[in-house]
Amino acid sequence: MKRLNNIILINLFCLFLLSTSCSADIQVFTCEPEWQALAIELGGDKISSFSATSGMQDPHQVQARPSLISKIRNADLLICSGADLEIGWLPLLLRRAGNQKLQPNKVGHFFAADHVRLLGIPKIIDRNQGDVHAAGNPHVQTNPKNILRIAKALLKNMKKIDPANAQFYQNRANLFLQKWKQALKKWQLKIEQIKGENVIVQHSNWDYLFDFSKLNQVATIEEKPGIPATSGHLSALIKQLKMNSAKIIIVAAYQDQRASQWLSSHTSLKVVILPFTIGGNKQVVDLFSLYDQTFTLLVNAILNQRKEVLSI
Q: Are residues 155 and 206 in the same domain?
A: no
Q: How far apart are CA 179 and CA 288, in angstroms?
A: 9
Q: Are residues 141 and 285 in the same domain?
A: no
| 259 located within any domain | yes
Q: Are residues 93 and 204 in the same domain?
A: no
- pLDDT higher than threshold 50 for residue 97: yes
274 sits in which H/E element: strand 270-274
CATH number of the domain within which 204 lies: 3.40.50.1980
Among 165, 186, 207, residue at a domain's last position: 186
Q: Are residues 171 and 32 in the same domain?
A: yes
Among 186, 209, 234, residue at a domain's last position: 186
Angle between helices 144-161 and 166-191 (to 10 degrees): 180
Q: Of residues 302 and 240, which shows the higher confidence score?
A: 302
* Residue 75 near residue 51 (C-beta atoms within 8 A): no
pLDDT band for position 228 (50/70/90)? confident
Q: Are residues 133 and 168 in the same domain?
A: yes
| 15 located within any domain | no
56-65, 108-117, 222-231: lowest mean pLDDT where?
222-231
Per-residue pLDDT tens over the stretch 52-64: 999 999 998 898 8
Among 140, 166, 186, residue at a domain's last position: 186
Mean pLDDT of the chain: 89
Q: What is the residue range of 290's domain?
A: 192-311
Identity of residue 280: G
For 130: left if phi > 0, alpha if psi spans -120 to 50, otherwise beta; the answer is: left
Q: Are residues 142 and 219 in the same domain?
A: no
Per-residue pLDDT tens over the stretch 132-177: 678 899 999 999 999 999 999 999 999 999 999 999 999 999 999 9
* Tally of domains in the chain: 2
| 8 located within any domain | no
| 3 located within any domain | no
| 152 located within any domain | yes
**Nearest Cα residue to 121 out of 193, 21, 208, 188:** 208
